[in-house]
Amino acid sequence: MEQTPTREQQLELYYFMRLNRALEERLERLVRQNQVIGGLYLSLGQEAISVGSAYALEPGDWIAPMVRNIGALLVRGFKPRDILLQNMGRANSATHGRDAGSHFGDLGARHVVSPISMLGDLIPVMTGVALGSRILGQKRVAMTWIGDGGSSTGAFHEGLNFAAVQKAPLVLVLENNQWAYSTPVARQTPLRDLADRARAYGIESEIVDGNDVQAVYRAAKKAAGRARAGHGPVLIEAKTMRMRGHAQHDAAEYVPKKMFEYWKARDPIALHERALAARGILTARVKSALDARIERELDDDVAFAEASPLPGANEIAALERGVYCEGCHEIAPEWQRPKDELLPPKSSVEARWTVQDFGALEEHAPKKRAPAAPAKRAAPKTAKVRRARR
């Protein structure tokens, strides 16, 4: 059964998408001011996917965002200053200035696994997280994202096959943004719908308009419910467009101008804004208040990040600190089932083969066909000629 967001939730979806875009616009300015350390990977035009899918999860579920999923971090409770500090390499950032971009998470409170630069590798990792939750007796779902280019990696296929075999409660959101750096989808695979990849592993899939935040929310809510109920992983293909280059250094001159124009008319924030206005949810007064709130929050957080110190000599000298957890914190398993269920004799499983012919190629006699009805005999051509002459 489809779940439509409430009036308050629809406004909150709008707020997170607007905050996502406004934050990235601030980061663009900071790049030009040489205050951002490393590359900047923008999600312009894809905000509905990150926000809508993450918003559909329960607080205890696990997520592992990629570099263009800032919206998912905001939904999960991170503030703009957390992302600003990280991108600006400040000493009080999550990684104390040792890393940049989105490479940070929160395993304790927010259940966020940090990104892995090797595309596709998060799929087997999050499958393991999902299985761990199931072993502990928790009804939790794990979600991660992958791009169209990343779906051509070996890790994508190995991870998805593993998740399928284990019926892991995993939701994989495939962001088909048309370009793997400068390679169009048609040059990567002969498939038009990348959701078809799920059929090879016997799992459910769905195609959704990635620029419709409510459609993404409903698809993710349905997929999470299915995975949570023990029916296995779900692949959601969200069709969208990357409206910038691969990163800040890429001018995306390989993209046809008409393609940008086509997708600009389908901007996810503008679409949601019009839908809310038509329902009387987003009035001029409400929009003005939201815009003011976002500007105020970003002004405060940018000022805080700019005033924060860069790593000092002591931090640089201790680069090995924090690489491994050596008593810095403890994450204990939250058991929600008796442990003896995982030990013999309760954990013993009878070895059996469910395929009737044990997987052999059996010779089957061809089915007998019913005799064909006798065909009507056509009149000789000569007779027709004679009649015509008469």
Q: Which of 240, 93, 128, 84 is nearest to 173 (CA)?
A: 240
Task: Note the pLDDT of residue 388.
Answer: 43
What is residue 86's predicted lDDT score, i.e. its pLDDT? 95
Instruction: Give residue 377's pLDDT.
Output: 59
Q: Give every residue of the chain whose pLDDT is below 50, as ranges.
A: 382-390
Structure-token pair, residue 197: 């990849």
pLDDT at 190: 93
pLDDT at 97: 86
pLDDT at 142: 98
The pLDDT value recorded for residue 386 is 43
Quick one: what percent of the chain has pLDDT higher than 70?
Answer: 90
Which token pair is 23? Answer: 């934050």
* pLDDT score of 353: 76
CATH class of the domain at 7-342? alpha beta
pTM: predicted TM-score of the whole model, two decimal places = 0.88
Write the secondary structure of the chain as one string of H (helix), E (strand) and C (coil). Answer: CCCCCCHHHHHHHHHHHHHHHHHHHHHHHHHHCCCCCCCCCCCCCCHHHHHHHHHCCCCCCEEECCCCCHHHHHHCCCCHHHHHHHHCCCCCCCCCCCCCCCCCCECCCCCECCCCCCCCCHHHHHHHHHHHHHHCCCCCCEEEEEECCHHHCHHHHHHHHHHHHHCCCEEEEEEECCEECCEEHHHCCCCCCHHHHHHHHCCEEEEEECCCHHHHHHHHHHHHHHHHCCCCCEEEEEECCCCCCCCCCCCCCCCCHHHHHHHHCCCHHHHHHHHHHHCCCCCHHHHHHHHHHHHHHHHHHHHHHHHCCCCCHHHHHCCCCCCCCCCCCCCCCCCCCCHHHHCCCCCCCCCCCCCCCCCCCCCCCCCCCCCCCCCCCCCCHHHHHHHHHC
Show me where the domains of the chain are located.
7-342
